[in-house]
Amino acid sequence: MGNFGLVKQKLEAFIKKYYLNLILKGSILFLATGLLYFLLITALEYFLWLSTLGRSILFWLFILVEFLLLFKFVGIPLFRLLKISKGIDEFQASEIIGKHFPEVQDKLTNLLQLQENSKKSDLLLASIEQRSRELTPVPFTNAIDLRENKKYVRYVVLPFLIILGLILAGETDMITNSFHRIIDYNTTYLRPAPFNFIIQNNELKAREGEKFRIQVKTIGDYNPENVQIIFDDGGSFMKQTAPGIFEYTISNISEDLDFKFRSNDVSSNNHTIEVIRIPKLLNFEMDLDYPAYTGLKNEKLSGTGNITVPEGTVVNWKFSTRNVLTVNFKTPDTLIEVHSDKDNASYNKRLRSNLQYEVSTSNALVKYFEPLEYQVKVIKDQYPKIKVTTQKDSLNTDIQYFKGDVSDDYGLSKLQLVYYTESEKKDPNTIDIPVSNESFDEFHFSFPGNIDLEAGESYDFFFRIFDNDAVNGAKSASSQTFSYRKKTSTEISDEKLKEQNDAIRNISDRLEEYEKSDEELKDIYNLEKEKEELNYNERKKLEEFLKRQKRQNEMMKSYSEKLKKSLEKNDENESPMQKELSERLENNEKRLEENEELLKELEKYSEKIQKEDLGKKLEELSKQNKNNQRNLEQLLELTKRYYVEEKKQKLARDLDDLSERQKELSDNNDQNSEENNVENQEKLNEEFEDFQKMMDELEKENRELKQPQNLGREEVEEESIKKDQEDAKESIKNNEGSKASEKQKDASRKMKQISQKMQQSSSMQQQEQLEADAETLRQILDNLIVFSFEQEYLLDDFKTMQQNNPKYAGKLKEQSNLRENFRHIDDSLYSLAMRNPMVNEVITDKLTNIEFDLAKSLERLSDNEIPQGTSSQQYVVTGANDLANLLDQILSSMQQMMGMPQPGSGKGEQEFQLQDIIQQQKELNEKMNSKTDGEKTKDRGKPKEEGEGMNGELFEIYKEQQRLRMQMEQMMQENGMESGNKATEDMKRIEEQLLDKGFDPETLKRMQQLEYELLKFEKAFKLQGTDDKRKSATNKIDYENRLNNQMDRAKEYFNSTEILNRQTLPLRQIYKEKVKDYFGKGRD
């Protein structure tokens, strides 16, 4: 290496030391300025307590400044030393060296320039070498004096002295705490307060959905009076539980919650309550898969874990969860952890015995949360159950109705009625009763219903139910055992007649008491009229009378009900007379109820009622009692007649039965032993003697009737029969078989003849009586019309007469005579009513009202009260006209009944009857047409006033039209056609118009239209006849249908609702409205 190389190395060393000097200088300056800046920012934070934003700015500004100082004072020289960046070159270094060393000056620079010359010659090289030798001894590095940096150390001393002073003063917190807050600029730091908030909770963790109580304690110079807890959405005051201790409860916490405490101007740091997610069981369902043999439909249950299932059921539990890792299914001996997948878990198990289980949930933080206990009850196949209740028919005690409840756990299969006599006990009879296959059913049954039982035998019976157990075989259960004895027809008839007779005697006794009460009521009424006011004893007498009257009504009502039930008992084919009596008894009960209401009113207000009102009420009670008495007398008489007729028919049937048995004994005479024949004949002889005694009793009861009937008894023949029976018995004893048989046959034949005569006499007597009654009624109707006209004339006379008129006394006498005349009409109708039920209680009411108004008119006219008297007379006229209208309808019905075809009439006769109706309607239309054209009266076409008499010719047309309508209805009823046919409705409207408008063109037009309707009806009637021929009858009996019918009857009995059906009366419109009002009040 030459001298130039040495120079160059020394030049490189200089450059290196040059930069090391700059780095040392920069480091001292960086330390000095950095420390000063550090002290500056910590002082700012110490005094200012900057916010997080201020501290973050100060922190990042400190970093930036320190970085810039480091870069400037240390980084740049270092990068140049490391030749990372361009620094001074050799020429710049030579100039620095030349300035420091005078002997060097420009020599080093020139040397470097010569070295860079591209044209080097030997002379140039020799010059370089020489100059290099000259510069070699010069120490270039000495040009840099590192000690000169000591002057900068004083800048470092100042911040260190400040720090040392703070340490000695014990205020290092000024640097450390401030610097810590600057570094932790995200955290909020507050100035030191006079007190601090210390949270007493071990941890700020709460379970989701639960309550969390925060407790804080204040420590410092003093304790605040109140503390607020501040949330993001507001604050609340905490509750002080002790000095310096406060608490607050958060309900239903569901999310992490930030909060801080504040009191006055002092606030705490922010805190956070961490919510622990609990494992929740939101819902679970149970899918029940029942064994197929049970027939149960699979189910899905939710919201419950307690169930009852049949053995072998597979239960699948399905859990819906949230924040759950496992669902714990715990039984008394096992624990099953069911993992939850996507908030769902399931577990299934086949159950063969009762199961108690517990369900809980778990996750990573909470284990076995909220365990829930449930129970599954497993039931075995049970025996079926049956419960039967029974009631007897109130009308027919021989019929028993049964209502049964049958049940089984899985289903029913069969229901039977088992019945037997003592001899059939080992092999009883059974009848299947329909029953559903469900687990519960209800059945109804009536016994004996249509079961063919032997009369006189006693039966035991019960109901038996079977289940559908397919595994062990059908199991059965039986109800309690019931007993029944089927009465013979003779026993039934005797029992029925005895009940009727007892009821008749009771009613008859009550009727005698009614008569006594009527006399007592008259005395009370007269006493009330004579005195201004009743005294205490008289009022007590009235009260006692009302109580007795009330008791009589109750007893009468009870007897009527018993008699009605007796009439209805065991009668499948109800006779018209029986039906009429039943309706009468029912109406009588209603009248007694109305009478009871009046008695209650009198009893309640007897102390308070005014004299005038009391008199009216007593009058009303008297009228009601008279009506009730007469109706009861008629009802009693008709019932007695019915009883006599029924007993006669029953004795006729008994005699016919006795005749058959006498004939049977005669036919079998040769086959029986002597002893047996004698005993049998003796028994028949005794039975015939019993028949004669019963006939004697019947004759006695018949003589008690007001008009005894013809019983058709043949006493001579009876003695002859008795003699034949005795002869037959003697012949049997003498072993004269043929003679005995002949006498027995004679006795049987004579018995049969007497029986037939007794039965035939009833129908013949009824027809004869009906004709006689119709004639009597016709005479009564004529007398009534005459009475009506005479009363109307007297009414007109009194209306125009003054009190001082000399004829007044004579007219008053005529009114009295007229009243006597009406009493004859009344007596005749009353006598007729005693034997004919068509004269009903409506007629009786009319008679009573007319008699009452007649007495009132006579009383008022005698007292010169002409307006009041004529008003009563007007009521008499109206009542007489109404009564005449009713009697005329009854007469028409009687005439129709006398002209009715006998049973067995064929279709041809009915068609002839319809043609006859059409022809008669046509003739009536022609008669009406002639009268309409010739009628020129001033009242033509105007409505008639109520109670006004009817023109004779018009009345005849009205009656004829009414008769045709009744024949039409009768014919339709016989053929089973609807009674509301348009033709009959038109006939009714025509009758009403005849009453209201008389001879009127509009009425004539309706009658002509009716003729057209009748022709249409005739065509339809013939078509019906054709259809009837196509129908065939069958005697086949469907037992199942009959069984269903008797079950329906039993069900209807247990859920019976009484329905009252009434027939529409053929009355004028105004009277129809009155009838509606009457029945309406009765229902109210």
Please tell me the least confidently modeled range out of 237-251, 307-321, 853-867, 896-910: 896-910
Identify the residue with better confidence: 80 or 763: 80
Q: Mind giving me the DSSP string for 316-328?
A: EEEEEEES-SEEE
Give the pair of three-digit tokens for residue 78.
Answer: 């270092």
| 1049 Cβ neighbours under 8 A, 6+ residues apart | 401, 446, 449
Give the residue with greater pLDDT, 327 vs 209. Answer: 327
| More confidently predicted of 188 and 441 | 441
Helices (H) and strands (E) in the chain, counts: 24, 27
pLDDT tens string 697-725: 888 888 888 778 777 777 888 888 888 88
**Arithmetic mean of pLDDT over the chain:** 76
> What DSSP string describes 381-442?
PPPPEEEEEEEE-SS-TT-EEEEEEEE-SS-EEEEEEEEE-GGGTTS-EEEEE---SSSEEE
As its CATH architecture, domain 280-379 has Distorted Sandwich (2.70)
- Nearest residue to 75 via CA among 22, 16, 15, 111: 22
Q: Which of 660, 296, 261, 265 is nearest to 468 (CA)?
A: 296
Beta bridge partners of 418: 430, 462
* 3-state SS, one letter per residue, for 628-655: HHHHHHHHHHHHHHHHHHHHHHHHHHHH
- Same-fold call for 191-276 versus 280-379: no
Q: Tell me: the pLDDT tens digits for 537-583?
A: 666 666 666 666 666 666 666 656 666 666 665 455 556 666 666 66
Higher pLDDT, 383 or 170: 383
More confident call, 262 vs 86: 262
Distance CA 622, CA 645 (A): 34
Strands 458-467 and 412-420: antiparallel
Least confident of 25-29, 728-732, 1035-1039: 1035-1039
Q: CATH assignment of 385-485?
A: 2.60.40.10
Task: Report pLDDT for 1043.
Answer: 52
- Judge whether residue 1027 has pLDDT over 60: no
Token code pair at residue 97? 């060296």
Does residue 532 or residue 945 have the better pLDDT?
A: 532
Provide the 8-state DSSP code for 137.
T
Among 464, 465, 460, which residue's Cα sits nearest to residue 448? 460
Q: How far is CA 592 from CA 542, 558, 585, 662, 935, in A?
A: 19, 11, 10, 50, 49
Q: In whole angstroms, give the CA distance from residue 832 to residue 809.
A: 35
pLDDT-wise least confident of 117-121, 398-402, 608-612: 608-612
Cα–Cα distance for residue pair 850/848, rounded to 1 Å: 6
829-859 burial code (b ≥16 CB/10 A, e <16): bbebbbbbbbbbbbbbbbbbbbbbbbebbbe
Residue with tokens 């419109």: 1069
The CA distances from residue 271 to 244, 527, 1038, in Å, are 19, 106, 92
Confidence grade of residue 778 (pLDDT, cut at 50, 70, 90): confident
CA Rg, the chain, in Å? Answer: 65
> What CATH class does 191-276 carry?
mainly beta
Q: Which tokens is 674 given?
A: 């002597």
Lowest mean pLDDT: which of 309-323, 442-456, 612-626? 612-626
Strands 326-330 and 335-339: antiparallel
| Arithmetic mean of pLDDT, 431-458 | 86
Q: String of b and e for 484-511 (b: at least 16 CB within 10 Å)?
A: bebeeeeebbbbbbebbbebbebbbebb
Of 575 and 337, more confident: 337
pTM, two decimals, is 0.40
Residue 794 CA to residue 821 CA, distance in Å, equals: 14
pLDDT tens string 820-836? 888 888 888 878 877 77
Q: Give ∠ CA 110-111-114 in degrees, rounded to 5.
A: 85
Angstrom distance (rounded) from CA 584 to CA 837: 9
Q: What is the mean pLDDT of residues 732-740?
A: 80
| 616: amino acid identity, one letter | K
Nearest of 289, 290, 322, 317 to residue 304 by alpha carbon: 317
Cβ of 209: how many Cβ atoms within 10 Å?
A: 13
For residue 443, give the nearest of 469, 416, 475 by alpha carbon.
416
- Report the alpha-carbon distance of residue 686 to residue 661 in Å, rounded: 13
Q: How confident is the model at residue 1080 (pLDDT cuts 50, 70, 90)?
A: very low
CB atoms within 10 A of CB 796: 12
Confidence class of residue 666 from pLDDT cuts 50, 70 and 90?
confident
pLDDT of residue 835: 77
Confidence at residue 1, expressed as pLDDT on a 0 to 100 scale: 44
List the one residue out of 910, 881, 1066 whose CA is nearest residue 975.
Answer: 910
Percent over 70 (pLDDT), the chain? 68
Q: Are 947 and 878 in contact (CB under 8 A)?
A: yes
Q: In what order do the strands lie in the sheet with 400-407?
A: 385-392, 400-407, 440-447
The encoded tokens of residue 206 equal 């709460």
Question: What is the C-alpha to C-alpha distance for residues 968 and 962, in angstroms, rounded to an integer?
Answer: 10
If pLDDT is split at 50, 70 and 90, which confidence band does 237 have?
very high
Show me where the domains of the chain are located: 3-168, 191-276, 280-379, 385-485, 490-640, 648-767, 911-1029
- Can you tell me the distance from the alpha carbon of 778 to that of 781, in angstroms, rounded to the nearest whole number? 5
The top-scoring range by mean pLDDT among 49-53, 211-215, 842-846, 960-964 is 211-215
DSSP, res 141: G
Hey, is 333 helix, strand or coil?
coil
Identify residue 314 by its one-letter amino acid code. V
- At residue 750, the 3 state secondary structure works out as helix
- Note every long-range contact of 391-396, with CB atoms under 8 Å and residues 24 or more positions apart, other chains counting: 391/1053, 391/1054, 393/1053, 394/565, 395/565, 395/568, 395/569, 396/568, 396/569, 396/570
CB-count exposure of residue 1050 (10 Å: 0-12, 13-18, 19+): buried
pLDDT above 90: residue 310: no
